[in-house]
Each structure stands twice: as C-alpha cells, then as structure tokens.
Amino acid sequence: MAKKETIHDIGLLNNAYFLSVEDVEWSMRAQKKGWETVYVPRASIIHKDSLTSRSKTKGTYSATRIFYECRNRIWFVREYANVAQKIMVWPGLFLLRYFYKALAYLVLGRWEKLGAISRAMLDGFFTKSSRFKSIE
C-alpha cells in the first residue's frame, strides 16, 4: 500500500524487473527519495498464484519464475548493495543458493529449470546496468 503522492513521486514499478523483486526495488527507490517504508507483520494479502509462478510438471516454480527471481536478485544487489554488502551476499546467494539449485536440477533432470537458472545468472551478471537501473 502506498500513498498517491508517493506513487507520483517515485513512479510505478520498474518494468525491467517484471516478475520478481520489483516491489523491493520500488521500496528502495522510495527510501532513497525520503519516503518511509514500514513492515506490518499482521498485514495479510491474498494473492492468487499466476500461471507464470507455477510449474506445469515437476517442482514448485516454473522455469519463468526461476529465471526472473534469480536474475532480478542479482540486478538488485548490483544496483543497491555497497561493496561490503556485495562481498557478504555474493558467496551465500550465488555459490550456495543458485549453484546448489542448478546442481539439483541437473541431478533431477529438470533441464528447463537448469537452463532458466543458468540464463538468469548470465543475464544478471552481464546485463548492462542501464537496462535495470532505477527509473528516476
């Protein structure tokens, strides 16, 4: 939830992020412009899962969801983390999380998901930053 004035000041969600992390990126832009963001643990939002999030075959998430979640997290860290944060985040997020998932997809023969996470890592690390930068 956001005030109309905040939306006019910050703008809409960044379309480059599309499916995942777009709300977190928007919140960071709001904070950079001086708007307060608040976490309300009692709040509840019911969200009907979309077709892009569910897998039609094995596992929980679709290859599309896996791609955007992985790539957008990399973009977010590239854009908003300072050097110390990057040093702390890269090993845990990518070596432990994404390479572990890639290995699991390889062992389980989930080729579409393995391809999605591989493309996401390449796109996340090698995309020119102008493509995902904040829309300010």
CB atoms within 10 A of CB 89: 15
Quickly tell me which residue has 């992020």 as its tokens.
17
- Say what the pLDDT of residue 79 is: 92
- The residues facing 54 across adjacent strands are 61
Q: For the segment 15-55, what is each residue's pLDDT rounded down to a tens digit? A: 999 888 999 999 999 999 999 998 889 988 776 665 555 55
Q: What is the pTM of this model?
A: 0.83
Contact 133, 28 (CB under 8 A): no
Q: For the segment 77-103, what is each residue's pLDDT rounded down to a tens digit? A: 999 999 999 888 888 777 778 888 999
- Say what the pLDDT of residue 67 is: 94
* pLDDT of 58 above 60: no
CB atoms within 10 A of CB 119: 15
What torsion do the CA atoms of 126, 128, 134, 136 make, to the nearest 10 degrees?
A: 170
